[in-house]
């Protein structure tokens, strides 16, 4: 059965590691996006033990969705996601996961649906927890250190000021398409995001 491309989003999850020690690290780009969404819609995240994290509800355009920041560490993200998906009985295709992406440069942001985990520990945990890879992903570029053995230290380090500025610009571009994304107009949002990234000079 083909994956529905036009599914609305009912759950947005940002991936990251909890605590001040990790707040500014590249691996927390998914948290940065969720924080930006919450600020834009003037919502407040609150601790929610049922879902092992912080949650809120927002209305973006005509779509109401729940937002989740897991309080588990990255490699246990599936615990929080499956709790929310199971409680609300959500179809997998209505879930959007925002996460850092080392295969994209800082300043690039891409949408996709389905696929593997690409070595990302959060996705690596979520896919088996949901028994499906068919959720949507907002991939926020953070760059690659150039050596696969250096990846862990790289993503757990702070972005440079220049990188952070470019990542913030990418998050702003994703926010500009957010209501299209959550309404299910994924293809149009993809086209716009990819076009804007090309105009910004991002090679990915």
pTM comes to 0.92
Domain 11-199 fold: Rossmann fold (3.40.50)
Dump pLDDT digits (tens) for 83-97. 999 999 999 999 999
> What pLDDT does residue 202 have?
58
The residue ranges of every structural domain in the chain are 11-199
pLDDT at 204 over 50: no
The answer on pLDDT for 1 being more than 60 is no
CB-side exposure of 122: number of CA atoms within 13 Å? 28
Q: Please answer whether residues 196 and 204 qualify as being in contact, where contact means their C-beta atoms are separated by less than 8 angstroms.
A: no
Q: Give SS3 for 111.
A: strand
Per-residue pLDDT for 2 more than 80?
Answer: no
β-bridge pairing 95-101 and 63-70: unpaired
Structure confidence at residue 5 (pLDDT): 56
Each residue's pLDDT tens digit, 20-45: 999 999 999 999 999 999 999 999 99
d(CA 85, CA 83): 6
* Percentage, residues of the chain above pLDDT 90: 85
Helix and strand tally (H, E) in the chain?
7, 7
* Catalytic-role residue among 27, 99, 120, 144: 27
- The reply to whether 27 belongs to the active site is yes
């Amino acid at each position: 059965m083909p994956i529905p491309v036009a599914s609305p989003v009912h759950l947005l999850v940002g991936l990251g590691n909890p605590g001040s020690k990790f707040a500014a690290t590249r691996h927390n780009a998914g948290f940065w996006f969720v924080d930006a969404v919450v600020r834009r819609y003037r919502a407040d995240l609150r601790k929610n033990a049922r879902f092992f994290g912080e949650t809120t509800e927002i209305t973006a355009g005509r779509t109401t969705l729940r937002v989740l920041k897991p309080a588990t560490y990255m490699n246990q993200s599936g615990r929080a996601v499956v709790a929310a998906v199971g409680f609300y009985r959500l179809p997998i295709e209505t879930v959007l996961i925002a996460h850092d992406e080392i295969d994209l440069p800082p300043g690039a942001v891409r949408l996709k649906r389905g696929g593997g985990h690409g070595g990302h520990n959060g996705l690596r945990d979520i896919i088996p927890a949901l028994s499906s890879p068919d959720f949507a992903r907002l991939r926020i570029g953070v760059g690659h250190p150039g050596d696969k053995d250096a990846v862990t230290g790289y993503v757990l380090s702070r972005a440079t000021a220049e990188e952070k500025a470019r990542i913030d610009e990418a998050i702003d571009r994703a926010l500009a398409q957010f209501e299209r994304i959550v309404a299910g107009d994924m293809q149009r949002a993809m086209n716009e995001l990819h076009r804007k990234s090309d105009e910004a000079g991002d090679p990915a």
